[in-house]
Amino acid sequence: MLARIANNLFWMGRYIERAEHTARFTNVNYFSSLDAPNKLSRDRQFVLQSIYEMVGEEEENEKALIEQDVLYNAALNPEKHYSILNCITYARENANSSRDLISNDCYETINTFYHSVMNYSKEYFVTRGLHDFTSHIMHQSTILKGKIRSTMLHDEVYALIKLGINIERATQVTRVLQIKYDAAEKVTLSKPKHLKKSYEWTTLLKCVDSFDINRRVYRKAPTQSTVIEFLMLNPNSPRTVLYCLNQIQMHIAMLDPLKVHEKDTALFLIGKMKCEYKYKTVEDIQDDVKEFIAHTFSSLVELSKKLEDEYFYH
Amino acid sequence: MYNYTIKYSCVNTYENPVFESFWQYIVTPQNNSTQELSSGVFSVSNDAVIEKSINGYNFETARIHTKKPFESLTFEAVFKLTKTKDNPLKIDPKYKIEDGYKALKELDFQVDYEAFLNTTELTTLPKEQVSLFDFDTSKSILDNLKRLNNWVHKYIVFKAGETTTETLLETVIEKKKGLSPDFTHLLCAIARVNKIPARYVSGYLHQGDGLLGDSQMCAWVEVLVPNLGWIGLDPVNNLLTDHNYIKVAHGRDYKDCEPLKQLLFSYGEKTSKCVVEVTYEQ
Amino acid sequence: MKPTNFKHLFSSYDGNENLFDEIFDKKQNVRKVYQKLFDIYNDQSIEEFINLNNKAKTSFFNQGITFQVYNEEKAQEKIFPFDLFPRIIDADEWKIIEHGVLQRCRALNAFIWDIYHDKNIIKAGLVPMELISSSANYLRQMDGLDPVGGIYNHISGTDLIKHSDGKYYVLEDNIRCPSGVSYVVYNRNALKRSLFGVFNHYDIHTVTDYSENLLEILESVKPKGVDVPTCVVITPGVYNSAYFEHSYLAKTMGIELVEGRDLVVENDFVYMKTISGLTKVDVIYRRIDDGFLDPLEFKKDSAIGVPGLFAAYKKGNVTLVNAPGTGVADDKAIYTYMPEIIKFYLGEKPILNNVHTYHCSRATDLKFVLENIHNLVVKPVDEAGGYGISIGNRLTKLEIEAVKKVILQNPRKYIAQPIMSLSVHATYIEDCQSFEQRHVDLRTFTLLGQDKEFVLKGGLTRVALKKGNLIVNSSQGGGSKDTWVLKK
C-alpha cells in the first residue's frame, strides 16, 4: 500500500474519533453542568473554558467567553481547524483520497455524514440544536465505525483506520482525564479532601461514555482512584487507555507481524508500552496522577512519530 | 590535439532548510566529430546521490535528489576530453549559389529541420524589426551568414547585468547590450526568418586566447548550410567556432539547454556561486 | 395509436419535425426499437417517475459521483445530471460505429507514429507542417522515440453526432485523457436499480467489462523484460474534476491510484512509495496532461508530476498510457484532415463522416468564415470542455463582430464548421415535469494495445439540458443517458 494513502487512512480514523469525542465532551459538559452540585461546576465560564481546552483553542482571550461563540467554534465553524465540521471534512477528504480502497458502503456513509454536517443550520444549532447535533455526530460516527468493521476486508487498510481510531481514542481519553482532573482540583481548591469524591469524576466518565460500565465494575459512586484505575488500566472497557493499547498493538501487528523482534520499530515500542500499563496498579500512579498523564501523552506522541517514520514517509 | 580539463563547480546556500530537492544539470560535453570525452566525474555534498541519464533531446544529464534537510549544497563536475581541430570547410566550387537557396525551399528539408526553422518565444523578432538584417541572395548562404555574424557582433555590446537568459529579443534590440545567449537568440531569429535552420548551442569557451565570453557557460549558434552541414558561429567574437569551443547541448533556444533545472521545497533567500574553469594542454 | 394515458409522461412532448428524433420518426410514430420501452414508460404516472428520478439523484450524490465546477466563485460539488430514459442503438447501426471508430483510432495511431518519425504524410504534402509545428501539443521530445508496441493512443474517446440526415458524423477525437467512462457504468447501474423491469425486454451488451479490458491493454504494453507488470493510475489529486473516475478505474482494475508525490525515479526506474518501501512501477495510466508529467522535462512549476519520469519512459523502463505527445493529433485542426489520414495510412475509405471544416489559417476559408459566421460554429482548436465555442445563428450582430475580431487576432487558433443539427432524444426535464426533445451526442471509448483492440459496446450519451442548446459538455450544463447497444 502507498505510504501516503496509509497516512490518510490513519488520519481518517483519527478524525472520525476526534469528532466523536469533541461532540460528547461538549454535550456532557454543557448539560451536566446545568444542575451540577458545585457552584463553580455550574459556572458558565468554567464550562466554556473547559470546552476550549478540550478542542485546543489557543487564542488567549481576556474577555468573558460568549456561549454561542464557543459552541459554534467547537461544532460548526469552518474557520476553526478543530471544529467537528472540519474533523468530518478532513475525514472525508482522507476517504476521498483512498476511496478505491475502502468499501462503497463505508464511503457512502462518510459522504452522507459529511453532507449532513455541512448542511446543519448554524442558527438552529446555537439556539436549540446542541443536543440534536452532538447526538447526531455520536450516532453517525458509531454507524460509520460499524460499517468499517462489518463491510471491509480486515487487512492492512482496516488495520490502519483502526490504528488511527485507537491512538486518537487513547489520546482523547487521556486528555479528558487531564482536563477533568484539573477541574476537580479547582472545584475543590478550598476543600482538598473533597477531591477524591468530586462530582467532576462523574462528568468525566460520562464524557467518555463509561459511567454505566464503571458502575457495573465498581458498584459505587466514582472516586478519584476508581476512575483513574478504570480509565487507564481496565483492559475490558472499550474506552480505556489499556484497551486502546491492546488494539493498537494488534493492528500494528497486522501491518507487519515480523517486526516484533526488531528493537527499533513501532511494534516493539507498543509491545513495551502495553506491558507497562498491563502490570501497573492504581497505587503506582495515584500519588502523582499528573505526572502519569503527562507520561501517557508523551508515550503516545512517541508512538505516532515512530509510525510516521516507519510507514508513512519514505 | 588539445587535452581539455573542465571544472564546473557550484555552491548553493539557502536562508532556510531545503527539505527536498531535485536538480538536473546539463553540463556534460557532448561526444562528436571534434571532441571526445574521456572522463566525467561528479561529486556532491550532503551524501546526495548523483544519477546520470539522458533527457528528451538526447543530451546527458546529471540528476540529484536530496531527501534530508540542508542549507548548503556543493556540486562539482570535472571533465577531461580531447578536442581536435575542425577540418576546414570544404566548399564545393561546382555547387551553385542558387542551388543552396533552392535546397532551403524543398519540403523535405523544411520538414526535417522544422525544429530549427520555427521561432520560439526567445527567438521571435518584434514585428517591426523583421528586416533588421537583409540577406543578399546574390552571395552564398555561408557568406551571408558570416556577414550576419559580423552584424550581430557589432549590433550588440557584450555587457553583463543588462539581460537575463530569458530576456526577449524586443528588449535586447532596444538595449543593444547583452551576453552570449542574447547574441545567439538574435542570430538564430534572423537566420530562421531567412529559412536557414539555426540552433542554440550551450557549451564551454576556452577564453585563454583572449576570446570574450560569459563567466559560466557560453552560448553560440550552429546554422545548417546546404551541402556543408552544421557550422558553428560565435557572434560575440565574430568567429567561426574552433578548438576553443566545447559543445554540451543544442536546442531551439536557451530553454532547451538550461544547464540547471531545479525543484526545491523551501522558502527565503538563496545564493548560488558557480565557477567554470576551462584549461587545455596541447 | 397513442395509448390513452399518453398525457402522463409525454404530455407536453413537442416533436419538432426539422430535427432528427431518436425515438419518433417523421410521422411521430415510435421507432420500432423504442416501442417496448416507450410502452413501459408510458405505463407510469408522473408521480412515480418523479419519485424514481429523485431516488436516482440522491443515490448519485451519496455515492459521491460528483464533479467540481470551477467557473463560478468557488468550486461546487455537483452531480452529473442523469436521465432515466436510455438511448438505444441497434446492432446494425452499432456495427458501423464500432468499425468506424476503430478505423479512426488506428489511423490516428499511425499518424502520430509518422509525425514523431519520418513525417511522410507531411513530405507527401497532405498535411501542412505549420499545423504540427504550431500545435501546443506537439512534443519534440517524442521525436524518434518508439513506444512499446508502437501504440500512442491506447485510450481514445470519439465524439459522434447524428445529423438530420440520420447519419453519424464524428465531431471530435479525444486522445489525450478522455474521460466519462465511469459515468457509462454508473448510469447503467442506476438505471438497473431504478427500472430493472425494462431490462427483461431487451438483450443488451454489458458495459462493466471496460475495466478488465483496460487492464489487459495496460498489461499488453508492459516494458520489455517485465514478466508480471505493476500498473498504476496516476491522478492530479482529489481536487481534479475527474478524480471520481480515476479512483473508479483504479478500484475496478484492482491497481493503485497514485499521485506524483507517491512516485520517485531512481536510476531511470520508477518506484512507488509504499508502507514497506519502494515498489517498481511498470505501466502508468496517466490522467495528467503532458506538460505536467515531469517538471525536469516540461513545465518547471508542475507540482503534480514526477521528476525524471520522462527519462525513465524514454529509456523504456516504464510505459506511459496514453503516450506523451498524442495531443498533436487531438488538435481540432488535424480533425479536418482525417479522411486523408485514413486513406494515407490504411488505404481505406472513412466509414464515419467528418463534418466539413473551414480553417481560419487558410486565406480563402478565413474569408468565407468571416462572411458566414451566422451560419457557422466557430471553435478554438486547442480547447476542451466546450469552452470558447460560438454558434453563429445564436449571436447578435454585435457579438458576431466581436467573434470576427477574436478570429482575426489569431486565425490559426480557430476553425469553423456548418451548424450541425444534433439529433434529439426524449429527456426528462425537471422544471416542466415531463419529457421534451433535447440534443444528444455520443462518446465512444476505444482501446488499442499490443495485439488487442476493444470498443466499449455502449458509450456516454451526453444531453444538452438547456432547450435548443447544442453544447453537451458537463461543464456547460449537460447531462447524460445510459446507452444501450442491442445484441443481434
* DSSP H/E element including C220: helix C210-220
Nearest chain B residue to C145 by CA distance is B56
Check CB contact of B136 with chain C, cutoff 8 Å.
Answer: no
**Min Cα separation C412/chain B (Å):** 15
Q: Residue B263 and residue C307: Cβ atoms within 8 Å? A: yes
**Conformation bin of residue A308: beta by default, left when phi > 0, alpha when psi is -120 to 50:** alpha
pLDDT value at C2 more than 50: no
Q: Does domain B2-84+258-281 have CATH number 2.60.40.2250?
A: yes
CATH of domain B97-257: 3.10.620.30
Higher pLDDT, C384 or A32: A32
Q: Quick one: cell of B67?
A: 531527501
**Min Cα separation B271/chain C (Å):** 20
The dihedral of CA C415, C419, C420, C422: what is its sign?
positive
Average pLDDT over residues C265-272: 96
Amino acid at C9: L
* Rounded (10°) CA dihedral B158, B164, B169, B175: -50
Contacts of A96 in chain C (CB under 8 A): 64, 238, 243, 247
Q: Cα–Cα distance between C448 and C218 in angstroms, integer?
A: 9
Pick from C251, C261, C262: CB nearest A100: C251
Average pLDDT over residues B90-101: 88
pLDDT band at C3, cuts 50/70/90? very low
Check CB contact of B51 with chain C, cutoff 8 Å.
Answer: yes
Q: Residue B54 and residue C315: Cβ atoms within 8 Å? A: yes
The dihedral of CA B116, B117, B121, B122: what is its sign?
positive
Contacts of B64 in chain C (CB under 8 A): none
Q: What does the DSSP 8-state code read for residue C236?
A: S
* Helix/strand/coil for C264: strand
pLDDT (tens digit per residue) in C226-264: 999 999 999 999 888 888 899 999 999 999 999 999 999
Note the pLDDT of residue C68: 65
Q: Residues C301, C295: contact at Cβ < 8 Å?
A: yes
Contacts of C63 in chain A (CB under 8 A): 104, 107-108, 111
Contacts of B24 in chain C (CB under 8 A): 296, 307-308
Contacts of B109 in chain C (CB under 8 A): none
* Helix/strand/coil for A71: helix
Check CB contact of B107 with chain C, cutoff 8 Å.
Answer: yes
Q: Cα–Cα distance between C46 and C219 in angstroms, integer?
A: 48
CA distances from C388 to C64, C371, C405, C421 (A): 29, 20, 14, 19
**Min Cα separation B49/chain C (Å):** 10
- Mean pLDDT rounded to a whole number for chain C: 88
pLDDT value at A22 more than 90: yes
pLDDT value at A314 more than 70: no
B82 has which bridge partners?
Answer: B3, B36
Q: What does the DSSP 8-state code read for residue C189?
A: H
pLDDT band at C418, cuts 50/70/90? confident
Note the pLDDT of residue C74: 59
Q: Residue A100 and residue C62: Cβ atoms within 8 Å? A: no
Count Cβ atoms within 10 A of the Cβ of residue C166 and give its class: 0-12 exposed, 13-18 middle, 19 or more buried: exposed
Residues 6+ apart with CB under 8 A from A233: A240, A241, A242, A277, A280, A281, A282
Q: Residue C295 and residue B51: Cβ atoms within 8 Å? A: no
DSSP structure string for B183-205 = HHHHHHHHHHHTT--EEEEEEEE
Q: Residue C311 and residue B65: Cβ atoms within 8 Å? A: no
pLDDT value at A306 more than 80: yes
Contacts of C315 in chain B (CB under 8 A): 53-54
Check CB contact of B65 with chain C, cutoff 8 Å.
Answer: yes
Q: What percent of chain C is predicted at pLDDT more than 90?
A: 50
Note the pLDDT of residue C4: 46
Q: In B, residues 182-241, which contact C (CB 8 Å cutoff)?
A: none
Q: Residue C278 and residue A314: Cβ atoms within 8 Å? A: yes
Give the A:C interface size as CB pairs under 8 Å: 58
The region of weakest confidence among C146-160, C344-358, C384-398 is C384-398
CA distances from A158 to A2, A103, A147, A151, C179 (A): 14, 10, 11, 10, 31
pLDDT (tens digit per residue) in A118-138: 999 999 999 899 999 999 999
* Helix/strand/coil for C193: helix
Note the pLDDT of residue C220: 96
Interface of A with C (CB under 8 A): 1-6, 93, 96-97, 99-101, 104, 107-108, 111-112, 115, 156, 255-256, 311-312, 314
pLDDT (tens digit per residue) in C46-79: 888 888 888 888 888 887 777 766 665 556 677 8
Average pLDDT over residues C70-97: 82
Contacts of A156 in chain C (CB under 8 A): 275
Average pLDDT over residues C72-98: 84
- Mean pLDDT rounded to a whole number for chain A: 89
Higher pLDDT, A208 or A274: A274
pLDDT value at C475 more than 80: no
Q: Residue B53 and residue C308: Cβ atoms within 8 Å? A: yes
Q: Which of B24, B64, B262 best probes binding to C when mutated, by most C CB atoms within 10 angstroms?
A: B24
Q: Cα–Cα distance between B114 and C128 in angstroms, integer?
A: 12
Amino acid at C121: I
B65 has which bridge partners?
Answer: B22, B49
* DSSP H/E element including A88: helix A84-97
pLDDT band at C5, cuts 50/70/90? very low
Q: Cα–Cα distance between C436 and C14 in angstroms, integer?
A: 7
The region of weakest confidence among A36-50, A221-235, B179-193, C174-188 is A36-50
Chains that touch B (3 or more CB pairs under 8 A): C
Pick from A2, A107, A111: CB nearest C273: A2
Q: Residue C264 and residue B114: Cβ atoms within 8 Å? A: no
Q: Which of C116, C120, C140, C313 best probes binding to B when mutated, by most B CB atoms within 10 angstroms?
A: C140
pLDDT (tens digit per residue) in B164-203: 988 999 999 999 999 999 999 999 999 999 999 999 999 9
Nearest chain C residue to B257 by CA distance is C297
Full-model pTM? 0.88
DSSP structure string for A185-227 = HHHTSS-GGGGGG-THHHHHHHHTT-HHHHHHHH-S---HHHH
Q: Quick check: bond before C322 cis, omega within 30?
A: yes
Pick from A2, A93, A156: CB nearest C272: A2
Average pLDDT over residues C116-131: 93
Contacts of B108 in chain C (CB under 8 A): 123
Q: Cα–Cα distance between C303 and C313 in angstroms, integer?
A: 19
Contacts of C250 in chain A (CB under 8 A): 100
Tell me which residue of C193, C145, C450, C445 sits closest to C324, measured CA to CA.
C145
Q: Cα–Cα distance between C249 and C243 in angstroms, integer?
A: 10
Q: What percent of chain C is predicted at pLDDT more than 70?
A: 94
Contacts of C273 in chain A (CB under 8 A): 2-4, 314
Note the pLDDT of residue B251: 96
Q: Cα–Cα distance between C446 and C360 in angstroms, integer?
A: 30
Highest mean pLDDT (candidates A188-192, C93-97, C408-412): C93-97
Pick from C63, C238, C272: CB nearest A93: C238
Domain spans of chain B?
2-84+258-281, 97-257
pLDDT value at C401 more than 60: yes
Tell me which residue of C435, C434, C439 sits closest to C424, measured CA to CA.
C439
Q: Residue C123 and residue B115: Cβ atoms within 8 Å? A: no
Note the pLDDT of residue C430: 83
Note the pLDDT of residue C420: 82
Q: Residue B115 and residue C297: Cβ atoms within 8 Å? A: no
Q: Quick one: cell of C14?
A: 413537442
Contacts of C264 in chain B (CB under 8 A): 65
Q: Cα–Cα distance between C52 and B240 in angstroms, integer?
A: 80
φ/ψ of residue C477, rounded to 5? 80, 35
Count Cβ atoms within 10 A of the Cβ of residue B105 and give its class: 0-12 exposed, 13-18 middle, 19 or more buried: exposed
Pick from C63, C250, C274: CB nearest A3: C274
Q: Quick one: cell of C416?
A: 469553423
Q: Residues B66, B6: contact at Cβ < 8 Å?
A: no
Pick from C62, C237, C259: CB nearest A112: C62
Amino acid at C77: E
pLDDT band at C328, cuts 50/70/90? very high
Q: Residue C122 and residue B107: Cβ atoms within 8 Å? A: yes
Instruction: Give the count of beta carbons closer than 10 Å to the beta carbon of residue A142.
Output: 13
Note the pLDDT of residue C72: 54
Nearest chain A residue to C252 by CA distance is A100
Nearest chain B residue to C314 by CA distance is B56
Q: Could you give the strand order of the β-sheet that contains C231-234, starting from the edge strand earlier in sequence?
A: C256-258, C231-234, C283-286, C319-321
Pick from C243, C247, C262: CB nearest A2: C262
Check CB contact of B114 with chain C, cutoff 8 Å.
Answer: yes
Chains that touch C (3 or more CB pairs under 8 A): A, B
Q: Residue C256 and residue A93: Cβ atoms within 8 Å? A: no
pLDDT value at C487 more than 70: yes
